[in-house]
Amino acid sequence: MNDRAFWPGTKVLRRESQVLESVTPTRPHMENNRAKTIRLLNGALGIARAGVLRAEQQYCVAYRNHSPAAAAAALERANEAWHHADRIVKRITDLGGQAELPATPDLGKTPSAEPHGRALSIVMSADLAAQRASIKTYRKIAIYCQALDHKSQKLIEDIIAAEEDSAATLMGLLEQPATATP
């Protein structure tokens, strides 16, 4: 199986990267700043939701592999990603927009559909790569929001800081030697 296609959010990150390439913050035509900001925030919302699904997948695999530290870290990340999504939705509604809520999850497999034989280290490595890609995309969104809406920029920068901490925690778990539990 191709590990790039494994983690949920591949489609979301690719789509949002394409949107960011087409939006230049210095172009004053086409849309007003509020509409651009809402579109960027909806992209960030998709990334946050993909993060929730990745963390849920990792939790399921860690739980099956009897790794309480990895399961606890994944659960904490899932809750944090939900919090990010809630903050983004609130900002979108504050701007007078509507959050784009997907009717069906098109971000990949659901946590319960994840193959039982998948190694925890592979899932964690894929999640770390996805988190790094998410951070990179969030940074682009923050740069574009700088010229559009400072409150949204601050929100995204706060999310970036939390994602970087989460990635450091995940990296620490990956670097720990595997220990067997009875």
- The reported pLDDT for the residue numbered 22 is 60
| Number of structural domains in the chain | 1
pLDDT at position 153 over 90: yes
Structural domain contains residue 162? yes
| Residue 117 CA from chain centroid, whole number | 25
Opening angle at CA 56, ends 72 and 124, nearest 5: 70
In a domain, 120, yes or no: yes
Alpha carbon distance 57, 74 (integer Å): 8
Tell me, what CATH number does 13's domain have? Answer: 1.20.1260.10
Average pLDDT, the chain: 79
Please give the radius of gyration of the chain, using alpha carbons only, rounded to the nearest integer. Answer: 17
Q: How far apart are CA 62 and CA 58, in angstroms?
A: 6
Task: Map tokens 């900001």 to a residue.
Answer: 37
Question: Which pTM does this prediction carry?
Answer: 0.75
The yes-or-no verdict on residue 34 having pLDDT over 50 is: yes
Q: Which residue has the higher pLDDT, 29 or 50?
A: 50
The phi and psi torsions of 98 (rounded to 5 degrees) equal -125, 130
More confident call, 109 vs 71: 71
Determine, yes or no, domain membership for 182: no
Q: Which two tokens stand for residue 142?
A: 């923050």
Per-residue confidence at 107, pLDDT binned at 50, 70, 90? very low
In a domain, 110, yes or no: yes
Per-residue pLDDT at 12: 61
Domain range holding 110?
Answer: 3-175
pLDDT tens, 125-138?
888 999 999 999 99
Question: What pLDDT sits at residue 19?
Answer: 62
